[in-house]
Amino acid sequence: MIRSGVCWRLLEVLVADHHDVVWARSATDDVRVEQTAPVTAAVRELHHRALAVGVTGSGEEVVALLDVVADTLVLAVTRLELQTTVQRHASVDDLTGLLNRRAGLARVQELLDEGRSDDGSALLVVDLDHFKAVNDRFGHLAGDAVLRAIGTACRTATRPGDVACRYGGEEILLLLPDTGQAAAVAATERLRATVAGTPFPEVPGGRGLRVTASIGVRWWQERPVGDGLQSLVAEADAALYAAKAGGRDRVVVHPVTVALPAG
C-alpha cells in the first residue's frame, strides 16, 4: 500500500522541461506543485527510474518506487502550502483581506513597468468619509468591522486582474488596468455606490450606520515621460481632496474639473 493514503498514478507524473513545476494527478484531483530546482530534479529522476522499473522490474519494485514518488510529492505539496501561507501573511492586510501597502504598490509598479495598454488604466484612491466619527461613536472594534466589510466590498467590485490594497488607515488604493476612461469612471461609481450600500451587522448598535467614500481617479492611456507611481498617486490624491471639498460621497477624475455627485 502507498503510504499517506495517496494513490499516485505513475504514468501521469509529468515534469515540465523548462520550468521548475511538477504536475501530478491523484486519484481525485490535480495538484500543481511549484518547487525549487533540487526538488524538481529529484522528482524527474524518480520519474525516469519509475519508467525503467515499469518496463523491467517486478510488481513489488513498482509498488516500492510508487511509495517513494508519493512521499516525495506529498512533501512537496506540504512545503508549497507552507510557502503559500507565509507569503500570504507577508502580503495581505489581515483586517481588510486586501493586499497590504508594500505588496500592493509593488504589484502596481510591476504593471506600470509592463507599459501602456490600448484601453488605458486608472488609479483610484478611496477614502472613507468621517471614519474617525465611526470610531468615536461606536468604538475601534466597530471601526475594524467596517474596514473588513469595505475590504470585502472592494474585492467583490474588482476584476481578477485589478489590484486593491490598503494604502493606509481608511484609505484604499486600486489599479484598474486595461480600462477605458468611461469604463473606469463607471466602475468607480459602482464602487462608491457599493460602499454606500454596505450594511454593518457586526457593529453593535450600528443598524442604521451608513459609511460613504470619496474617490479620486487618475486615468491615463499613455503616461507622460517621468510620470511615475508617486506622481500618479499624487494626482489621484488631488482628485480625492476635491471630492472631499465638493461634499464627499462622490467621484472626482483628474484633472479636477467637477465633482460627480453621488448617484
Question: For cell 509592463, what's the residue?
Answer: 114
Q: Looking at 34, 170, 222, 235, which residue is catalytic?
A: 170
Alpha helices in the chain (DSSP H): 37-56, 59-91, 101-113, 131-138, 140-157, 181-196, 229-245
Q: What is the DSSP string of 12-67?
A: G-EE-SSSSEEEEE-SS-EEEEE--HHHHHHHHHHHHHHHHHHHHS-HHHHHHHHH
The SS3 call for residue 197 is coil
Using the 8-state DSSP alphabet, how is residue 218 labeled?
E
Instruction: Name the burial class of residue 200, with classes exposed (0-12), middle (13-18) and buried (19+) by CB atoms within 10 angstroms of its CB.
Output: buried
* Dihedral, CA of residue 103, residue 110, residue 126 and residue 84, to nearest 10: -30
Q: Is 60 a catalytic residue?
A: no
Question: For cell 494527478, what's the residue?
Answer: 25
β-partners of residue 165 are: 99, 173
What gap in Å lies between CA 231 and CA 14, rounded to an integer? Answer: 47
Active site residues: 170
